[in-house]
Structure 1
Amino acid sequence: MPATAFTGLASAAEQAAAKADPAKGETLYTQGAPDRNVPACLSCHGANGNSGAAVNPKLAAQHPEYAHKQLADFKAKVRNNPIMTPIAAQLTDQEMRDVGAYLARQTQKPASAKNKDTIELGQKIYRAGIANKGVPACAACHGPAGAGIPAQYPRIGGQFSEYTEAQLVAFRQGGRKNNAVMTEVAARMSDAEIKAVADYVAGLR
């Protein structure tokens, strides 16, 4: 296969992302699509993607590729949520990309760590993992400040600790199955370890 063919394949995702329209994404995020019973995203996730309720994740500054994947997974029922699954089912792939592009441009208003008693444990797990359980350092994929890596790993720094904890528990218990790596990692962690690292992540900037 010619080298140019590989270049074309490699740039396909970039070209798709480049076509995303953040202005249209903003309209969908702030107004929804009433004709399809799609509510405004901000009604749950807050203005500019900064949710005010821990049950609904902060989406501001999230990598657009990750936001798109999660919406696509909800639509395909690979990831299930009684609220998000029916909403995503009404969205086109283009709309998912547009919303992701809009959110990526927003500034996150980070949450904060709350439990001083577990901060040391949370930091240790995040930075070094849990060697005797085969749990890798969270920072290895999500970065030292929880910023993630575009198109590969999501931004998790500054997220509500309650939300992060709930997702790790869902991965461990099988309620969330759209990431094999996280399922394996969470399966090796105790409730206390999950809670500690989730709280630590909330304080990352």
Structure 2
Amino acid sequence: MTRGSSINAALALTALAMSLLSGSAMAQAGKPDLARAQQIAQQVCTACHGADGNSPLAANPSLAGQGAEYISRQLAHYKNGIRINAIMQAMAAPLTPEEMVALGHYYTRQKPRIVGASDLKLAQAGQLLFRGGNSAGVPACAACHAPTGAGIPKNYPRLAGQHADYTYAQLKAFKAGERGADKAGKDVQGRIMADITQKMTEGDMKAAADYAAGLR
């Protein structure tokens, strides 16, 4: 087994374990108030993320079809100052834990639109990286985000159909230490991404983002 495949296998096992733990926690949670979530989504979230969770702006993420637990976890990170973004921190500040959970369940039920890759050659390079990693030590994105880009709820986000500009911006933020740098160690997945992106070039980031945008 090569070093790259060993890393991919380790990440896949870690992702599976986290998924099982997330499923157990989800089973213990109460039924989410989807009516309240829809109200918040329409009054607060629509301007940036679209009426149905499909963002009309490439700089803002689409939330439709995203993992419910991933969304609620990120909202909690914003509220607790683990993830930094002035706008999102202000939006998350008044939310209760129950509302965060409900919003996650509301958006995961929305149908994501197909965005598509914008550059064939770039997407082809991204496919190689996404599925198999590279010789620089970047593991396959599919190890944690799934071959289809569906992700693992709570821990690893859905990348399929996400705006390439947004995904690329987040990869750059991880590499620059603007994300995943929580000193308290509460953003475990963010720390993993921050470490991985140190081995990624600008070309790697753009290619992976463009390929993921074309997944469905």
2:72–2:154: 8 Å Cα contact kept in structure 1? no
Aligned to 2:38: 26
Q: Which residue of 2 aligns with 1:86?
A: 90
Q: Which runs of structure 2 are paired with 1:178-193 in the superposition (5 Å)?
A: 178=187, 179-193=190-204
Q: Corresponding residue for 2:45?
A: 41
CA contact (8 A) 2:73 2:154 kept: no
Counterpart in 1 of 2:61? Answer: 57
Structure 2, unaligned runs of 5 or more = 1-21, 181-186
In structure 2, C-alpha distance between the alignment counterparts of 1:193 and 1:10, rounded to whole Å: 32
Relative to the length of structure 2, the TM-score reads: 0.82
2:162 alignment partner in structure 1: 159
The aligned length equals 187
> CA 1:151/1:80 → structure 2, altered by over 3 Å: closer, same or farther?
closer
In the alignment, which residue of structure 1 is the partner of 2:132? 128
For residues 181 and 113 of structure 1, the distance between their equivalents in structure 2, rounded to whole angstroms, comes to: 26
Instruction: String of CA shifts for 1:142-178, please: whole Å, max 9, x gaps.
Output: 1111001234321110000000000000000001124
Q: Equivalents in 2 of 1:126, 1:105: separation in Å?
A: 26
TM-score (norm. length: structure 1): 0.87
Unpaired segments ≥5 residues, structure 1:
1-8, 32-39
CA positional deviation for 1:12: 3.8
The one-character-per-residue Cα deviations of 1:31-78 (angstroms, maximum 9, x if unpaired) are: 2xxxxxxxx201110011011001110000111100001000001111
Q: Give, in whole Å, the separation in 1 of the partners of 2:151 and 2:145.
A: 4
Q: 4+ residue stretches of structure 1 with deviation over 6 A?
A: none
SS of structure 1 residue aligned to 2:86: coil
Alpha-carbon distance in structure 2 between the residues aligned to 1:156 and 1:47: 20
Instruction: Return the alpha-carbon distance in structure 1 between the equivalents of residues 94 and 70 of structure 2.
Output: 19
| Structure number with higher relative contact order (C-alpha < 8 Å, ≥ 6 residues apart) | 2
Cα distance in structure 2, aligned partners of 1:141 and 1:159: 16
Aligned-residue CA RMSD (Å): 1.5
Q: Does 1:75 align with 2:79?
A: yes
Partner of 1:101: 105
Q: Using the alignment, how far apart are the partners of 2:71 and 2:154 within structure 1? A: 10
Higher Rg of the two aligned structures: 1
Shift of 1:10: 8.0
Deviation at 1:27, TM superposition (A): 1.1
